Amino acid sequence: MKNIIFIYVILSFNIMYSQSGEEWKLKVADRVFIDFNKGGDSEYLVQLYGKPELSLANSISDKNKKGKFVYTALKNYSLQSQKNVKKICENMGVNYKSFLIVNALLVKSDFETMKTIAKLPEVKYIEANPSYKIDVVRKADSNQSRSPNAVEWGVEKINADDVWNMGYTGTGVVIGGQDTGYRWTHEAIKSKYRGWDGNSADHNYNWHDAIDSVDTHNSGDNPCGLSIKVPCDDNGHGTHTMGTMVGSSGSNEIGVAPDAKWIGCRNMERGWGQPSTYIECFEWFLAPTDTNELNPDASMAPDVINNSWYCPASEGCDASNYSTMEDAVNNLRNAGIVVVVSAGNSGPNCSTINTPPNFFQSSFDVGATNSMDTIANFSSRGPTTGYGASILKPNISAPGVNIRSSTYDSDSSYGNKSGTSMAGPHVAGAVALLIDAFPSFKGNPDTIEHVLQNSAVFLDTDQSCGGVDGTEVPNNTYGYGRVDILAAINYVNSLPLRIKSFDAELMSNQTVLVSWDVEGRNIETIELQRSNDGYLWENIDVSINDQSSFIDKSPFSGYNYYRLKINEQGEISTFSKIVFIERKSKPFIVTYPTIVKKGKNLIFNIVGLKDRIIEINIFNLLGEPVFQKAFSILEESQNLTIPFSGQNEGLFIISIMDKKSKEILKTSKFWFKT
């Protein structure tokens, strides 16, 4: 395979690059030229420059509002950025698919159309759309299969069953699965499907199929069909992973979060996917649509997404297409969604976490352990290599050897599989339990990952990777350790109350944005209080610890004092420091009348310039000064009256200046009538 690719690369340079040194060719990946050398139309991804500013999303605590903000910003940006590429495609009669979660389009065209697109200045790069390979699942030892009527060993190992006894089972949390599809009618996962109400199924906003053609690695018709509107699994991998996340039945507890709901997207055709199919699923999770791919709704997005796939260099993934996939993962995090990724099954050597998406900083990578809390031999190790700076990975580890779960053979079939594909779902389920226990964590991936990592069971090894000793925490074998959801909940409950930040900011529209970051034990409510003197306080907002900011739309004129009153269980209350903002009325000046008759006065209404000195100058049309005087403004709103006479009839110009800064505050004109 490597020799063939090498020959094609040589041919592409001989045929394409030898003809001219046009700069547009530098924006096209070698593999794209290779694909076109095969003849006919080819499929490629067009990556454009620029992305919207999404940092404001961090100040939005409500997950639905955060997701809507991110979706809207990405949509509006892509509409403007991509219009020229779309126009070329439409004029040439070329099929294309526009993405918004990344600033890119999937195009299938002839070579000349690709060349025209590449010449656009807004086009950053044209990359290939190779096939991604499913995260290879290792054969399990059937002799270690657990019998039914038992909590599966992995679920028990991370203490999920103890958390159920505390009343946390994943209620109110939605898990997204991006995989080979799902046998949604399986007894272990059917009742957990968000599209099932107990009597009938509604697949709108709950299922999407990104597979519209048979992959070149496969032959024959797809057993599920293409672009299907009902969930189906053409490989079995997806059904098994979903069982570990939410599965349960009368005979077996196989899932970590049995009362969580799930939604799904098929991104692989019998185990093979492409950047475009993964991006399509990522985008659908950002704002799920109906089954006609219409009416996207960010409020229907999941809280966590499980991903058990990777793309090695041997399958065409390289530095030319890494950044596109990373943008998708980053934007999901911006929208408040945790992106769980299997670390891969290329161990035991160091730096085998070397493929997308597991080497992205924003992916929450999971290694695999066995029942003895020892790392699986196959589990990939860090640090990451091949893209950007080397990063310590995995983030965390979880059970991934001989995991019994649902299979796609029938609605009641079960089987054992091994792989980091089996470990990742344990962590996705743990995320659901953590959000159930602490609803304020919803939409905050940083907090969720911090808690899971810092409460993990420390595991050490004699293997040192990347200069990090295996006895350190974290290390490149286990990350921070093996996930323990009971310890995670106890960790949060044991935290002493800490007010990490509390600030107020006067916005341009004269409202006040008050923001805070509070963590600690057993917080029941947080009251935001306001005062105009720092002594008498009123409540202006009460939260249940599920928000971290508030906009005061009607602040006092002058000084506004703010403080938090944090109420914990046991009738314990703690006050924050006091912050204050001085709100001055927005300066404005009104002059009237516009026609001044002889013997009448000019009137100036001055607002928002208290304690400043202004100078009023009046000029005739020749630019000659006819009046000049300074006034001290002593009130927030003050009227000035100026008699005006002794001039010929005509038009006069008024200039009002800040005496100290020399800033011109206003110019206007009036007609003097004799």
DSSP assignment letter at 145: P
Can you name the residues that pair with 339 across neighbouring β-strands?
305
Residue 149 has pLDDT above 70, yes or no: no
Q: Which pLDDT band holds residue 28 (cuts at 50, 70, 90)?
A: very high
281-324 per-position pLDDT tens digit? 999 999 999 999 999 999 999 999 999 888 766 555 677 778 88
Q: How far apart are CA 30 and CA 127, in angstroms?
A: 8
Closest CA to 34 of 420, 348, 318, 227: 318
Closest CA to 235 of 217, 258, 250: 217
Q: How far apart are CA 261 and CA 212, in angstroms?
A: 26
CB-side neighbour CA atoms (13 Å) of 389: 3
- Region 160-179: mean pLDDT is 97
- Region 473-478: mean pLDDT is 98
CB-side neighbour CA atoms (13 Å) of 544: 5
DSSP assignment letter at 83: H
Q: How far is CA 233 from its chain centroid?
A: 27
Q: Which pLDDT band holds residue 563 (cuts at 50, 70, 90)?
A: very high
Q: How far apart are CA 471 and CA 462, in angstroms?
A: 7
633-665 per-position pLDDT tens digit? 998 788 999 998 888 888 999 999 988 888 888
55-99 per-position pLDDT tens digit? 888 878 889 999 999 999 999 999 999 999 999 999 999 999 999
Answer for the pair 226, 181: CB distance below 8 angstroms, yes or no.
Answer: no
pLDDT at 330: 96
Q: Which domains does the chain have, with CATH numbers?
A: 2-129 (3.30.70.80), 134-439 (3.40.50.200), 497-583 (2.60.40.10), 588-673 (2.60.40.1930)
pLDDT at 8: 35
188-221 per-position pLDDT tens digit? 999 999 999 999 999 999 999 999 999 988 999 9
543-556 per-position pLDDT tens digit? 766 678 889 988 88
* C-alpha dihedral sign at 455, 459, 463, 468: positive
What are the structure tokens assigned to 335, written together?
Answer: 């929208």
- In 428-557, the DSSP E strands lie at 498-506, 512-519, 523-531, 538-543, 549-552
Mean pLDDT for the chain?
Answer: 89
pLDDT at 55: 84
Answer for the pair 403, 154: CB distance below 8 angstroms, yes or no.
Answer: yes
Q: Which pLDDT band holds residue 153 (cuts at 50, 70, 90)?
A: very high
Answer for the pair 338, 362: CB distance below 8 angstroms, yes or no.
Answer: no
Identify the residue with better confidence: 404 or 58. Answer: 404
Q: How far apart are CA 21 and CA 18, in angstroms?
A: 8
Q: Is 223 helix (H, G, I), strand (E, B) or coil?
A: coil
Angle between helices 83-91 and 63-81 (to 10 degrees): 50
Q: How far apart are CA 353 and CA 255, in angstroms?
A: 27
pLDDT at 165: 95
Residue 14 has pLDDT above 70, yes or no: no
Q: How far apart are CA 120 and CA 584, in angstroms?
A: 48
pLDDT at 546: 62
Q: Work out the percent of the chain whose per-residue pLDDT is above 70.
A: 92
What pairing do the DSSP bridges indicate for beta strands 174-179 and 304-307?
Answer: parallel
Which amino acid would we find at residue 110? D
pLDDT at 107: 98
pLDDT at 142: 41
Burial of 327 (0-12, 13-18, 19+ CB in 10 A): buried
- Region 401-415: mean pLDDT is 96
Q: Which pLDDT band holds residue 591 (cuts at 50, 70, 90)?
A: confident
What are the structure tokens assigned to 514, written together?
Answer: 């008050």
Q: How far is CA 270 from its chain centroid?
A: 28
567-589 per-position pLDDT tens digit? 887 677 888 888 988 876 667 78
Q: Is 558 left (phi over 0), alpha (psi -120 to 50) or beta?
A: left
